[in-house]
């Protein structure tokens, strides 16, 4: 440690993903091996742990524990939804100074990038030398600049397998089924439901994403058309659907310190939509709603292998760029360098480029008002990995 | 087919499971190979297909299709929730006669056993010679006589992995979380949430099953106690919880022709319980609810290997006993012949023994009002198979 220029601190923030610990362990293993880096600490519950001086010694963890943690969903360091005030930012910097933290890695979504950005501006202002890196994760896949976000592939895989099964369920016992998928601002995760389709009449038959304004009457008309045609209808709906003015179709009153409304952890939107269908198309119809909820981001034992490997590599890359002499701060982004075979490169972007704002599905990935395009499927499939194949009887007549 | 004594008809009925098609294919492969059996037909949507003469030729399916179907969740023949009236039962028998059906296999739960029982009584009365067998499936695991039911192990595996992940989620972002699990009459599936625990403070911390009367005030008190102790609380609740008079805590108005109320396909119970907690313990608490819904019974690409193998074998066994000269009708039951190593035998029981009534969790599998016993875990673990191991940081102080 003779050459170490300071200690390392890592935090996790925002909603969990199935592979967020891969990034954590990627950082730890790379930092422990880096002679420029001193001790490797973890902040329990992100910035809250820094403010409360609740730090743990990650360098003391065994190889075996680190590997087990890498394969465990959600934040092993525990997470937080907190945007520090300026006063809190100053306390964070004071803690950095106290523990000689010269490298800070914050694993999270766009809100976490914003926190890193804020801390960086404060550090520059105070003349405290610390390298600040955001390490991306989000099942929403709505960070800007990057081709895709670690965490998305595994959540998309869960959603695709869930719809694959629910399509069989809906075919077994026909009716109208609404499945509500996570995604506050953008429809990336809801769009992945389309990966479930294998036969021409497979659902989801309708996919509603926040990129299009939602209208209840048009929705009921769409459902009626599919149901009349197929005798069943499977629908994917993003929790973030909203009317033309941007007002959410359904929400609770709760907001976090970033100003985000609570959408998940309630079945209310699905039940509301199921009720709206019955009201418009007939109360004797078999209409059901499921809200996939936290299972999408936390389910144990189901990951996309590509996603897990990339999440690890994004963590390792952050440590490498933090000591390459070129970067003082930034976020790691993934660039798709080849589609066939699928290949990626890891690069650095500015914190300000990913902070705060989110990225919608581009127009080319949408099809009409309620579907995704083949281009989206090409984009998403390599991130999710090989999906199970569904079998179907040929239904030959007995003659 | 010179010796064939008649044709075979197979139907699937009731709620889907992840392995109900294993039983279907087990019957088909065994029936096709059995010289006493003629052609092998499938009824589309169970008894409804028989009434509508919607039969398909299962003997004409390729080996490859059958294998793919076996590994596909939900009813490949499509299902139905229908209790035939006496008049309909007579029409079913007329269809049997028309197609020379001498073997009928009905894959389903206790309602399907009841249908088979009803058809058998009618056949005896009319003097029509047909061998009628019920082939068990239910994620609820609430059939009588049998040690456990095909379909349960896979659903229990889903529930265990879901709680394993949600426990990590709840630890990452602490709060109170209610997860509603299927199980109309009995708590078998909800109980399997306990398989998720690996560390001493792991959730689910409270498990509510229909075997115990549910009381909202006591519930709120339990939650308050755990939350005060751990700073978080993960709760498993059966959709079938009810008060001391048997009245459900929450339900919709819909009922099927067996008189069962609609419980699933709505997030209402979870939202109701989350609201009740906030109301009693404080509206500023972070309380969330998820309802696992149809994912528990249909999720694609996630089965218990033991469950899949047993579901196949139960189907094969039904065909064997139908031609052993000893049995005219019955249901296949599983007997656990050894716990360590886990071994089972397949036997025949009377239709009347499993029809209609269900089986609760026995007292020895319950612990107090809101937990399961170690004996339950010993019972359930071999059915679910090896579960993923969760890693955890040792949280060593930085000294």
Is residue A233 domain-resident? yes
Q: What percent of chain B has pLDDT over 90?
A: 88
Q: Which of B308, B332, B336, B306 is nearest to B319 (CA)?
A: B332
CATH number for position B347: 3.40.50.450
Residue A239 is labelled as binding a ligand: yes
Is residue B399 domain-resident? no
Distance CA B311, CA B153 (A): 10
DSSP 3-state assignment of B150? Answer: coil
Distance CA B57, CA B49 (A): 13
Residue B215 has pLDDT above 90, yes or no: yes
What's B104's DSSP letter? Answer: E
Q: Do B238 and B348 belong together in one domain?
A: no
Average confidence (pLDDT) over B118-133: 96
Q: Do A315 and A286 belong together in one domain?
A: no
- Asked if B172 reaches chain A (Cβ–Cβ under 8 Å), the answer is yes
Q: Which of A186, A168, A302 is nearest to A234 (CA)?
A: A168
At A355, is the pLDDT very low, low, confident or very high (cuts 50, 70, 90)? confident
Q: Do A60 and A123 belong together in one domain?
A: yes
Report H helices in B233-373.
268-281, 295-298, 305-322, 351-354
CA atoms within 13 A on the CB side of A357: 9
Residue A61 is labelled as binding a ligand: no
Q: By CB neighbour count within 10 A (0-12 exposed, 13-18 middle, 19+ buried), where does B149 fall?
A: buried
Is residue A321 domain-resident? yes
Residue A393 has pLDDT above 90, yes or no: yes
Q: What percent of chain A has pLDDT over 70?
A: 95
Contact A290, B157 (CB under 8 A): no
Contact A207, A190 (CB under 8 A): yes
- Asked if B41 reaches chain A (Cβ–Cβ under 8 Å), the answer is yes
Residue B399 has pLDDT above 90, yes or no: no
Sign of torsion over alpha carbons A114, A116, A117, A118 = positive
Q: Do B259 and B313 belong together in one domain?
A: no
Is residue A87 domain-resident? yes
What's A59's DSSP letter? Answer: G
Distance CA B318, CA B332 (A): 6
What's B194's DSSP letter? Answer: G
pLDDT at B356 (0 to 100)? 79
Residue B234 has pLDDT above 60, yes or no: yes
How many structural domains is chain B composed of? Answer: 2
Q: Which residue has the higher pLDDT, A3 or A160?
A: A160
Q: Which of A55, A26, A21 is nearest to A297 (CA)?
A: A21
CA atoms within 13 A on the CB side of A231: 5
Of B56, B72, B389, the CB nearest to A395: B56
Distance CA B69, CA B75 (A): 9
Helix A20-32 crosses helix A305-322 at what angle (to 10 degrees)?
Answer: 40
At B74, is the pLDDT very low, low, confident or very high (cuts 50, 70, 90)? very high
pLDDT at A262 (0 to 100)? 64
pLDDT at B285 (0 to 100)? 94
Give catalytic residue positions of A.
Answer: 140
- Asked if A13 reaches chain B (Cβ–Cβ under 8 Å), the answer is no
Q: Which residues of B touch A387 (CB under 8 A)?
A: 301
Please, which residues 210-249 of chain B have a Cβ atom closer than 8 Å to chain A? none
Q: Do B102 and B236 belong together in one domain?
A: no
pLDDT at A269 (0 to 100)? 92
- Asked if A398 reaches chain B (Cβ–Cβ under 8 Å), the answer is yes
Q: Which residue has the tokens 């906030």?
A: B278
- Asked if B168 reaches chain A (Cβ–Cβ under 8 Å), the answer is yes
pLDDT at B1 (0 to 100)? 40
pLDDT tens-digit series, residues A71-128: 999 999 999 999 999 999 999 999 999 999 999 999 999 889 999 999 999 999 999 9
pLDDT tens-digit series, residues A144-171: 999 999 999 999 999 999 999 999 999 9
Q: Which residue has the tokens 């039951």?
A: B333
Distance CA B54, CA B31 (A): 20
**Maximum mean pLDDT: which of A353-357, B182-186, B333-337:** B333-337
Q: How far is CA A231 from CA A177, A224, A228, B48, B254, in A?
A: 12, 10, 6, 15, 20
Q: Do A242 and A372 belong together in one domain?
A: yes
DSSP 3-state assignment of B344? Answer: strand
Q: Do A213 and A285 belong together in one domain?
A: yes
Q: Which residues of B touch A295 (CB under 8 A)?
A: 162, 165-166, 290, 292, 295
Distance CA B385, CA B293 (A): 22
Q: Do A307 and A326 belong together in one domain?
A: yes
Q: Which of A36, A34, A73, A78 is nearest to A56 (CA)?
A: A78
At B77, is the pLDDT very low, low, confident or very high (cuts 50, 70, 90)? very high
Cβ contacts from A onto B, under 8 A: 264
Ranking A208-222, A384-398, B10-24, B242-256 by mean pLDDT, the lowest is B242-256
Q: Which of A248, A284, A274 is nearest to A178 (CA)?
A: A274
Distance CA B125, CA B102 (A): 16
Of A71, A77, A290, the CB nearest to B291: A290
At B4, is the pLDDT very low, low, confident or very high (cuts 50, 70, 90)? confident
Distance CA B195, CA B387 (A): 9
Distance CA B204, CA B195 (A): 9
Residue B138 is labelled as binding a ligand: yes
Residue B139 is labelled as binding a ligand: yes
Ranking A204-218, B165-179, B258-272, B362-376 by mean pLDDT, the lowest is B258-272
Q: Left if phi > 0, otherwise alpha if psi is -120 to 50, otherwise beta: which for A183?
A: left
Inter-chain touch A173–B264, beta carbons under 8 Å: no
pLDDT at A250 (0 to 100)? 75
CATH number for position B165: 3.40.50.460
Is residue B2 domain-resident? no
Residue A1 has pLDDT above 50, yes or no: no
pLDDT at B2 (0 to 100)? 45
Is residue B158 domain-resident? yes
Distance CA B214, CA B244 (A): 7
- Tokens linked to A325: 């002499």
Q: Do A166 and A86 belong together in one domain?
A: no
Q: By CB neighbour count within 10 A (0-12 exposed, 13-18 middle, 19+ buried), where does A347 fall?
A: middle
Q: What percent of chain B has pLDDT over 70?
A: 95
pLDDT tens-digit series, residues B353-388: 988 788 999 999 999 999 999 999 999 999 999 999
- Asked if A54 reaches chain B (Cβ–Cβ under 8 Å), the answer is no
* H or E element that contains A44: none
Q: Which residues of A touch B174 (CB under 8 A)?
A: 78
Distance CA A108, CA A46 (A): 10
pLDDT at B5 (0 to 100)? 85
Is residue B165 domain-resident? yes
pLDDT tens-digit series, residues A221-267: 999 999 999 999 999 999 999 999 888 887 666 666 666 666 666 78
Give catalytic residue positions of B.
Answer: 140
pLDDT tens-digit series, residues B18-36: 999 999 999 999 999 999 9
Contact B103, B31 (CB under 8 A): yes
Q: Could you tell me whether strands A206-208 and A101-108 are parallel, antiparallel, or unpaired per DSSP bridges?
A: unpaired
Global ipTM: 0.96
Q: For residue B311, what are the domain limits?
A: 7-150+302-354
pLDDT tens-digit series, residues A12-24: 999 999 999 999 9
Q: Which of B179, B159, B388 is nearest to B296 (CA)?
A: B159
Q: Which of A163, A199, A393, A166 is nearest to B21 (CA)?
A: A393
* Mean pLDDT rounded to a whole number for chain A: 94
Q: Do B216 and B100 belong together in one domain?
A: no
pLDDT at A2 (0 to 100)? 45
At B258, is the pLDDT very low, low, confident or very high (cuts 50, 70, 90)? low
- Asked if A252 reaches chain B (Cβ–Cβ under 8 Å), the answer is no
Q: Which residue has the higher pLDDT, A103 or B267?
A: A103
Q: By CB neighbour count within 10 A (0-12 exposed, 13-18 middle, 19+ buried), where does B246 fall?
A: exposed
Q: How far is CA A390 from CA A25, B38, B61, B96, in A?
A: 35, 29, 15, 31
Distance from CA of A179 to the nearest CA of B (A): 10
Is residue B336 domain-resident? yes
- Phi and psi at residue A98, to the nearest 5°: -60, -40
pLDDT at A266 (0 to 100)? 79
Q: In A125-155, which positions are buried (b, 16+ CB within 10 angstroms) versus exposed (e)? A: eeeeebbbbbbbbbbbbbbbbbebbbbbbbb
Inter-chain touch B393–A42, beta carbons under 8 Å: yes
Q: Do A337 and A240 belong together in one domain?
A: no
Distance CA B99, CA B315 (A): 22
Residue A334 is labelled as binding a ligand: no
- Phi and psi at residue B397, to the nearest 5°: -65, 155
Q: Which residue has the tokens 């609820």?
A: B140
Q: Do B197 and B316 belong together in one domain?
A: no
Close Cβ partners of B298 (under 8 Å, ≥ 6 residues apart)? A165, A166, A168, A169, B16, B18, B73, B74
* Mean pLDDT rounded to a whole number for chain B: 94
């Amino acid at each position: 440690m003779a050459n170490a220029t300071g200690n390392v601190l890592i935090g996790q923030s925002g909603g969990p993903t199935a592979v967020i610990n891969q990034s954590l362990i990627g950082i730890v293993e790379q930092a422990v091996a880096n002679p420029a880096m001193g001790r490797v600490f973890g902040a329990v519950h992100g910035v809250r742990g820094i403010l409360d001086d609740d730090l743990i010694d990650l360098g003391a963890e065994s190889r075996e524990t680190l590997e087990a943690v890498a394969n465990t969903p959600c934040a092993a360091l525990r997470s937080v939804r907190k945007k520090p005030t300026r006063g809190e930012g100053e306390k964070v910097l004071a803690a950095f100074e106290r523990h000689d933290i010269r490298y800070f890695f914050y694993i999270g979504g766009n809100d976490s990038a914003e926190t890193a950005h804020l801390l960086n501006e404060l550090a520059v202002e105070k003349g405290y030398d610390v390298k600040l890196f955001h390490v991306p994760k989000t099942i929403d896949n709505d960070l800007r600049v990057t081709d895709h976000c670690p965490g998305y592939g595994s959540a998309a895989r869960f959603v695709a397998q869930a719809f694959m099964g629910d399509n069989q369920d809906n075919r077994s016992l026909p009716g109208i089924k609404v499945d509500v998928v996570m995604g506050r601002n953008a429809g990336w995760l809801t769009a992945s439901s389309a990966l479930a389709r294998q036969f021409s009449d497979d659902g989801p038959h309708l996919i509603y994403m926040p990129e299009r304004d939602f209208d209840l009457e048009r929705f009921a008309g769409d459902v009626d058309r599919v149901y009349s045609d197929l005798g069943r209808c499977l629908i994917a709906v993003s929790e973030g659907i909203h009317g033309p003015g941007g007002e959410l179709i359904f929400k609770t009153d709760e907001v976090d310190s970033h100003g985000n409304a609570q959408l998940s952890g309630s079945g209310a939107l699905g039940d509301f939509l199921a009720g709206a269908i019955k009201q418009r198309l007939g109360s004797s119809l078999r209409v059901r709603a499921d809200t996939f909820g936290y299972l999408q981001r936390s389910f144990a034992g189901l990951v996309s292998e590509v996603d897990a490997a990339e999440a690890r590599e994004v963590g390792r890359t952050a440590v490498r760029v933090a000591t390459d002499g070129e970067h003082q701060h930034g976020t790691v982004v993934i660039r798709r360098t080849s589609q066939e075979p699928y290949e990626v490169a890891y690069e650095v972007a500015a914190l300000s480029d990913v902070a705060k704002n989110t990225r919608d599905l581009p127009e080319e990935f949408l099809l009409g008002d309620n579907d995704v395009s083949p281009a989206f499927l090409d984009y998403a499939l390599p991130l999710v990995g090989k999906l199970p194949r569904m079998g179907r009887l040929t239904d030959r007549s007995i003659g």
